[in-house]
Chains A and B, each alone.
Chain A
Amino acid sequence: MRMLSEIMKSSLKKIKLPVFIILYSAALLLTLPQNAYAMHIMEGFLPVNWAGFWFVLTIPFLILGLRSIQKTVTAAPSVKMLLGLAGAFAFVLSALKIPSVTGSCSHPTGVGLGAIMFGPLAMVVLGCIVLIFQALLLAHGGVTTLGANTFSMAVVGPIAAFVVYRVLKKTGAPGWLAVFLAAAAGNMLTYITTSVQLALAFPLQSGGFAAALAKFLGVFAVTQLPLAIMEGILTVVVFNVLTTYNRQELLELSVITEEVPQ
């Protein structure tokens, strides 16, 4: 992983930033779908242009994520294992398909914990690894929809969790509440994003995007609500354990502050 990020870093240096930005916006425009007639999104279930669009949108976050991990690890090598824990948590939680009140199943994402500890960018990489595993070995999600799924689960979800945690901490909310709401928000926002992605690709003939969004939200959001609560609780449990045994690392990462004991 370090080698990969170094290669990316050196290649990024070679391409001058303005050129890169121009190329990137051109790629975005090219892949922006022209005719939009038209959990994780299943293999082949996003039209080619949309699949490409989400890939292009996700790649810069992945590069930033690799650099963020590298920075964190060089600044505090002792947190490497903790980073592994964040990945392992996402690995377990996204393997658990849990029944929900709607009579269908879905799974939590587990990206909130890592986003709270390491910031949202680090989770782009870890979430993407989980999604690749599931796409290749489990036929869950897909290779063509990897860009879209990474964007929802590993970009939007972690950003939501991170923002909620930091804002609540600033307002002086108790630590457990901030962790709970952050993880739950990360989970919900992931699936709301999935619904938006599907509605953009498949708008209804009458009602268009909004009507389609309502339909997809009906599938995902209600099912996901109890799972978001469960993910929130489980994240609080792991966080409790970490604040007992890992005070030093969490202080180093400025996740918790000295005067707020858990």
Chain B
Amino acid sequence: MKKNLILILLVVLLAIVPLFMNRGAEFGGADGQAEEVITQINPDYQPWFSSVWEPPSGEIESLLFALQAALGAGFIGYYIGYVRGRKQAAEKEIHAKN
């Protein structure tokens, strides 16, 4: 478990370092940059379809992204708790038998 904590810390560090390396940078999405390259290569290109629905604001968008992460993380937490309890119960049973 200690090993895992160190690994998670490492991931956090990897995410923070770029913030200090590029202080002035915009940190926009890479997909937006790809869009720029497309318009550079082919200035006449018109997207022929636009999103069915767009989050009305940045706030709503981050709400939905947070919801997505929360749903996933919630399930992962539930599952790990479940298998941990299951293992402990199994071990207890073995001890009880001996």
Contacts and interface: CB of A to CB of B under 8 A. Distances in A.
B75 A95 contact: no
A64 interface: no
Interface string A117-138: 0000000000000000111111
Interface size class of B (residues with CB under 8 A): 35 or more
A115 interface: no
Chain A facing B: main interface SS: helix
Most chain A CB inside 10 Å of its own CB: which residue of B26, B28, B29, B69? B29
B65 A245 contact: no
A112 B24 CA distance: 33
Chain A, interface size category, equals: 35 or more
Interface string B23-36: 01111111111110
Contacts of A238: 76
Interface in B32-62: 32-35, 37-38, 40-42, 45, 47-55, 61
Contact of A92 (B35, B47, B69): B69
A149 B21 CA distance: 30
A245 B86 contact: yes
Interface of B: 3-4, 7-8, 10-11, 14-15, 17-19, 21-22, 24-35, 37-38, 40-42, 45, 47-55, 61, 64-66, 68-69, 71-73, 75-76, 79-80, 82-84, 86-87
14 contacts: A38-B45, A84-B79, A92-B68, A95-B72, A99-B27, A100-B18, A104-B30, A133-B68, A137-B53, A139-B61, A142-B49, A198-B34, A241-B80, A242-B83
Interface of A: 38-45, 47-48, 81-82, 84-85, 87-106, 133-140, 142-144, 194, 198, 202-205, 212, 215-216, 219-220, 223-224, 226, 229-230, 233-234, 236-238, 240-242, 244-246
